[in-house]
Amino acid sequence: MTKLYIHIGQEKTGTTSLQKFLCENRDLLFRDYGVLYPYQKYLSTDKRAFFNHAKFSGAFLPPEQRSYVNMDNNIDAGIVVESLRKLISRKKPKVIILSSEHFSSRYTQVQIEQLAKMIDFCNVKIISYIRRQDDYQISRFSEALKSGSVHALKLTKLSSSNKRLNYYENLKPWFNTFGTASLILRPFNKNSFANGDLYSDFLSAIGITNIEGFTKPEESNLSISKEEALVLCQLNQSLLQWKDVTGKDSKEKFQRSQQIRKSILSTMQNNRDIKPHTPLRKCFSISDRKEFLASFLESNKKLSTMFFDGKELFEPIE
């Protein structure tokens, strides 16, 4: 039986970087290890140079929830699963990897149970990275600023039931459906990674310990600094956000706004030697970050007990 690893994210845990890594090393993975990261029209996004499996994840959702991927509304779960079955029959891989963070952000118990029933011809393992919640939220601020956010940089306490940040509740349908032993949970933290490296850590999760010969993608996105964030906050007051788009004309203006943001941020990041920059997290006090994290300590403890023998999931806030 083919082993199928479904990488579900979570968001803000290097998913895009891992997908680039898997794309760049597709030939090596299949040739030397029998591991297939499949490019296929019903399973993956369209560009061969970089793709993920958003079409596969989207096929189990109603059309109105597929806005994150360009796919035909007629493509359903039956079509993508049959494509997967045929691919296995033709390629005969030992292992297949499917990767889409929308598994974790969009799926409910309904989709997860349907998925489990339809892929019962595979030995399924679920891989999920999780990030300490205050770091996750600060990373969200960073992405929002790149898209035009004008909100003050403030950590507002969230409900412990927040689906994206209560990892226990987010993952519960997955381990209830596939079994606890089928869930591979990895903290998104450099000090927790195998060899201190995300790519090595993912490979170790699928049973590959020899990392020689693998190429790593070029890191194209520097983290926004505190100084850059403050500039973007002011700049965005004069530019359009996506929510301002109402038609073709405003969409064109939004695209130009994005180009301006990107150009200014790039210029600042290329000239960081002018004045020292500080990490974005320095915008937030330790007490604010601890207060934000407090809403999720109970759910973190549950996962710690289930998967890490009670050891702390994350490093303490410093």
- pLDDT tens for residues 11-48? 999 999 999 999 999 999 999 999 999 999 999 999 99
| Residue 119 sits in the same domain as residue 85 | yes
**25 Cβ neighbours under 8 A, 6+ residues apart:** 214, 215
- Contact call for residues 225 and 272 (beta carbons, < 8 A): yes
Instruction: Say if residue 131 is exposed, middle or buried (CB neighbours under 10 Å; 0-12, 13-18, 19+).
Output: buried
pLDDT at 155: 86
| Residue 117 sits in the same domain as residue 82 | yes
The answer to whether residue 90 sits within a structural domain is yes
- Contact call for residues 186 and 204 (beta carbons, < 8 A): no
Tens of pLDDT, residues 76-96: 999 999 999 999 999 999 999
| Residue 119 sits in the same domain as residue 67 | yes
Asked if the model's pLDDT at residue 222 lies above 90, the reply is no
| Residue 190 sits in the same domain as residue 244 | no
Instruction: Characterize 5-41 residue by residue with b for buried, 16 or more Cβ atoms within 10 angstroms of its Cβ, and e for exposed.
Output: bbbbbbbbbbbebbbbbbbbbbeebbeebebbbbbbe
pLDDT classification of 158: cutoffs 50, 70, 90: confident
At 12 the three-state DSSP class reads: coil
| Residue 247 sits in the same domain as residue 115 | no
- Contact call for residues 211 and 195 (beta carbons, < 8 A): yes
| Residue 236 sits in the same domain as residue 173 | no
Q: How many domains does the chain have?
A: 2
* Domain that residue 81 falls in: 3-132+162-205
The answer to whether residue 31 sits within a structural domain is yes
Question: If you average pLDDT over every residue of the chain, what do you get?
Answer: 94
The answer to whether residue 237 sits within a structural domain is yes
pLDDT at 2: 97
Greatest distance between any 2 Cα atoms in the chain = 58
Asked if the model's pLDDT at residue 287 lies above 90, the reply is yes
In what helix (H) or strand (E) does residue 97 lie, and over which residues does it extend? strand 95-99
pLDDT at 220: 66
CA distance 316 to 318: 6
Closest CA to 18 of 111, 123, 127: 127
Percent of the chain at pLDDT > 90 equals: 84
Residue that is written with structure tokens 């958003």 in the block = 54
